[in-house]
Amino acid sequence: MNETLEALAQSLFKSWFVDATQSALPKGWETKSLAEVTELITKGTTPTQEDVASAPISDAQINFLRVNAIAEDGVILDEKLTKIPESVHTGVLKRSVLKAGDVVYTIAGTIGRMSIVRDDLLPVNCNQAVAIIRPKLEVPSSFLLLSMKQTAFQEELHSNIVHAVQANLSLGMLSRATIILPPKETFGSLFQPINALLKKIDANRAESRTLAALRDALLPKLLSGELRVPETQTKLL
């Protein structure tokens, strides 16, 4: 279902925001750099072994996002997240504390994977291979993400990739990359139908995570005989 919804959202976005502006921008539409439509473009940090070792044992463990936790389809894989101590998160890594709605974009190694940070992941931090792109209030995260997925954006950005020992993309390159914005007075009505599809996708993913967590909690108990099917049904009801 999500593959179908995603394809429809991408098709509508391309038709209304890309194809309609290929020959010339309609009146009132603008080309802007990511730097102009964001509050922040930075990247994460990896703590040293000493940072982690010196953290209090009583510290809470905070989600830590790396490239391998971002799937090709943009899903952040909870099981791939690692952990860092809370004092490290709020101390030496305070510059890369993520907020819900941030767009994350992989800039080293596997380049170009992207996602939006979900509320339920918080608190969360990330390493230096992940760029943090925080859009201004008037630019929805989902609009920015779809814009960044477009072929023209990818070609503009990735033509500047630096190949050394490991391919990497600088924050400056990200900041200069451009997207197209419609006038403020028509933005909402144009993007609302697409955003509704994206919200349905998010709801489906949340339901899938809930069902997976329920499966993981019940299956070992069912296999071990600790719970039997009639008892499980009673507990669920």
The domain that holds 105 is classified in CATH as 3.90.220.20
pLDDT at position 197 over 80: yes
Residues 64 and 83 in one domain: yes
Least confident range of 13-22, 132-141, 152-161 = 152-161
DSSP output for 136-199: -TTS-HHHHHHHHHSHHHHHHHHTT-B-SSS-B--HHHHHH-EEEE--HHHHHHHHHHHHHHHH
Residues 175 and 201 in one domain: no
Amino acid 234: pLDDT: 61
Going through 13-154 in order, the beta strands assigned E by DSSP cover 30-33, 38-43, 61-65, 82-85, 103-106, 114-116, 124-126, 130-135
In this prediction, residue 227 has a pLDDT band, given cuts at 50, 70 and 90, of confident
Residues 41 and 10 in one domain: no
pLDDT at position 221 over 70: yes
| Residue 131 dihedral angles phi and psi, to the nearest 5° | -85, 145
Task: Indicate the residue among 181, 197, 229 that finishes a domain.
Answer: 181
Percent of the chain with pLDDT over 70: 94
Residues 148 and 214 in one domain: no
Q: What is the distance between the alpha carbons of residues 37 and 140, in angstroms, rounded to a whole number?
A: 10
Residues 45 and 108 in one domain: yes
Residues 155 and 101 in one domain: yes
Count of the separate structural domains present in the chain: 2
Residues 109 and 204 in one domain: no
Residues 9 and 105 in one domain: no
Q: What is the mean pLDDT of residues 110-125?
A: 96
Q: What is the distance between the alpha carbons of residues 24 and 32, in angstroms, rounded to a whole number?
A: 15
Least confident range of 70-84, 131-145, 149-163, 173-187 = 149-163
Domain that holds residue 114: 32-181
Q: How many C-beta atoms lie closer than 10 Å to residue 60's C-beta?
A: 11
Q: Tens digit of pLDDT for each residue in 39-90?
A: 999 999 999 999 999 999 999 999 999 999 999 999 999 999 999 999 999 9
Token pair for 208? 């899938």
Amino acid 230: pLDDT: 65
Residues 49 and 145 in one domain: yes
Q: What is the distance between the alpha carbons of residues 232 and 223, in angstroms, rounded to a whole number?
A: 12
Q: What is the mean pLDDT of residues 209-228?
A: 86
Amino acid 218: pLDDT: 87
For residue 78, which amino acid is it?
Answer: D
Quick check: 168 and 192 in contact, CB under 8 A? no
Q: What is the mean pLDDT of residues 160-180?
A: 83
Amino acid 22: pLDDT: 85
Residues 147 and 43 in one domain: yes
pTM comes to: 0.86
